[in-house]
Structure 1
């Protein structure tokens, strides 16, 4: 069992930290809103810290799951950032969906402290975090990853090292690129079927067993057909992620025409008032 800190108790971090505690690790938590950290401690035990630096002091592992590159830099390198409290040998594991650039930057900064850094964005959404079955995509040094993997598996069903620092974030970008295209295609299929007068619940049940089947079809096809978008991964978050993908593509020369188009479709959904709707709400712009 390890001494660990968890920074960021949002919809993902809150249950991820809970799984760490349930596995027997000694857990200290930090959240920008202190009341959230106090609530977590009242429910799970452990300790709440008032700054990221305080949370990181004396820990074997420090986990983070915050909003974006700027939030991540603030919680690590800011005046009270966690990196100021790292002891030599501490492993910092970042679950934020962020840029590959910031992952490489923080990896170098951690090494300057005698510590180590793993970029480890996740897939599986809030349900995956709640149930401890996230997929974790990692970038970093193999020996460091080998030490971190058993602890990460406290809330994961799959975890893999994909390459050096930044590889985890690049893999998450691929994940989001694939989802964007799949959800748009599913939206168009359901829209087409409804216009054709078909029983789309029956249609989806049949085609999900064939080559068109996907996680999105199994988990979002029925609710899309019913016009329900009040759960899952929010449009605002998806646009943040797609902006990261498109920025990286401009650097490496990749062509992402469908991703760019779907990003603009999500902008349409935002204008419709769907900023917090689930990403399957792409269907709403076709069905209006």
Structure 2
């Protein structure tokens, strides 16, 4: 069992840290809102710290799952940042969906302090975090990954090293590009079936058995048809992710017309008040 810290106890980080505690690891948590950290300790045990630096002190592995690049810099750098509290030989594992650029920059800082760094964004959403069924895409050096992978398994159904630092974030971008196109296609399919006065659930049941089948169809088809979106991965977060994707595409020259279009469709959903709706709410702009 390892001495670990977990920074960020949102809808993803809270359950992930909980699985670490359940697996028997010695867990210290930090959250920007201290009351949430204390509540987590009340449920799972372990300890809470008032700063990332204090949470990271003496820990073998420090995990983080926060909102964006700036949040990540805020918990790692400076006098109260996690890097200042970590000892040489420890490893920092970042589960935030962030840019490959910030991953490389932080890995450079960590390396100068003798720390390992793994960028390890996840896929599977809140349900995946709660059910220990996340897919984890990692970038970093072999040694750093090897130290973290057995511990990550507490909340992952799949975990793989994709290449050097940044490769995890780039793989997550590929994931989001694929999801954006699939959800838009599924939205149009359900919208068409409704207009054609078909039994939508029967249609989804039969076509899910063939080449049109997907995770989105199996897990979101019925709720999309019922116009239920008060769960899952929020539109605001998907737009944040797609902004990262499109910025990286401008750097590497990738052409992403569908991703760019779907990003604008999500902007329309936000204008409808759907900021916190699940990403499957793309269908709402077709049904209004």
- State whether TM-score is above 0.5: yes
- Distance in 2, matches of 1:99 and 1:144, equals 20
Residue aligning to 1:167: 167
2:194 maps to 1:194? yes
Residue aligning to 2:152: 152
Task: Give the CA deviation at 1:176.
Answer: 0.3
Task: Give the CA deviation at 1:87.
Answer: 0.1
Task: Give the CA deviation at 1:146.
Answer: 1.2
Residue aligning to 1:104: 104
Residue aligning to 1:40: 40
What TM-score, normalized to structure 2?
0.99
Task: Give the CA deviation at 1:30.
Answer: 0.2
Bigger shift: 137-146 or 205-214?
Answer: 137-146
2:64 maps to 1:68? no
- Distance in 2, matches of 1:145 and 1:31, equals 25
Residue aligning to 1:80: 80
Residue aligning to 2:115: 115
Task: Give the CA deviation at 1:72.
Answer: 0.1
Secondary structure of the 2:176 match is helix
What TM-score, normalized to structure 1?
0.99
- Distance in 2, matches of 1:45 and 1:228, equals 35
Residue aligning to 2:177: 177
Residue aligning to 2:208: 208
- Distance in 2, matches of 1:42 and 1:217, equals 38
Residue aligning to 2:8: 8
Q: Please list every run of 5 or more consecutive structure 1 residues that lacks an aligned counterpart in the other structure.
A: none
Task: Give the CA deviation at 1:147.
Answer: 1.4
Residue aligning to 1:240: 240
Task: Give the CA deviation at 1:188.
Answer: 0.2
- Distance in 2, matches of 1:113 and 1:29, equals 22
Residue aligning to 1:20: 20
Task: Give the CA deviation at 1:138.
Answer: 0.0
- Distance in 2, matches of 1:167 and 1:157, equals 19
Task: Give the CA deviation at 1:78.
Answer: 3.2
Residue aligning to 2:139: 139
Secondary structure of the 2:136 match is strand
- Distance in 2, matches of 1:276 and 1:145, equals 33
Residue aligning to 1:219: 219
Secondary structure of the 2:27 match is strand
Q: Please list every run of 5 or more consecutive structure 2 residues that lacks an aligned counterpart in the other structure.
A: none
Secondary structure of the 2:16 match is helix
Secondary structure of the 2:163 match is coil
- Distance in 1, matches of 2:183 and 2:269, equals 13
Secondary structure of the 1:62 match is strand
- Distance in 2, matches of 1:114 and 1:147, equals 14
2:31 maps to 1:31? yes
Instruction: Report runs of 4+ in structure 1 exceeding 4 Å deviation.
Output: none
- Distance in 1, matches of 2:283 and 2:268, equals 11
Residue aligning to 1:51: 51
